[in-house]
A = this chain, B = another copy of it.
Amino acid sequence: MRSSRIAYDVTVGRWPPNARERLESAALDLFVENGYEETTVAQIADRAGMNRATFFRHFADKREVLFGGEEVLGGLFADAITAAPTAATLSECLQAALAAAAAAMTTQQRAKAAQRVLVLAVNADVQERGLLKHARIAKSVTAALRERGNDELTARLGAEMVMLAFSVAFERWMSAKDDEPFTPYAEAALSDLQTRAADLVLPSRLSA
């Protein structure tokens, strides 16, 4: 479909997605069709109607094309925490972070995410890269919470809470119907975890 790469897409009423998004879509399609290991960067670029040089302007290597969303997510979390009102509690900051994630969790992203889940399930080295991205997002959330004056441990615990709530929300959302919005899943996952966090607090603290 190289000839269509600058065509107006009448089905969604807009110009086709930009180079980065097209490379991601092409890569995911090929990984699912032919296998991650079997797919080359040249094939991805070709499917997207570009050349290898363009691919490497957007992604450092083949694995990175799977994790563009992670960079976006880390930024959304951190920006939302930074932008929260000065008086916002820790809980409110975590809620703001998860609410902001919804911007990246569209129906289109959900379809891509389903492909990624399939690819990650059978490729250990891709899983490892995913964990590295996960760790980096947690660090950026920790930094954003620290900047608000939370101490180091509170910030790290808050970041783990955001990451776990996001994972739980993501899993539930992926199991739901296609057109469900992400936000209610994010809110429910965080609330469910906050309920359970009471069991982590020492009894003397709860009654204080």
Contacts and interface: CB of A to CB of B under 8 A. Distances in A.
Q: Is the interface of A mostly helix, strand, loop or mixed?
A: helix
Contact of A197 (B129, B135, B168, B201): B201
Interface in A143-195: 151, 153-154, 156-158, 160-161, 164, 168, 191-195
A199 B128 contact: no
Interface size class of A (residues with CB under 8 A): 35 or more
B205 A200 contact: no
Identical copies in the complex: 2
B157 A196 contact: yes
Given A131-B131, A132-B127, A206 B198 contact: yes
Contacts of A191: 202
Interface of A: 89-91, 94, 124-125, 127-129, 131-132, 134-135, 151, 153-154, 156-158, 160-161, 164, 168, 191-203, 205-206
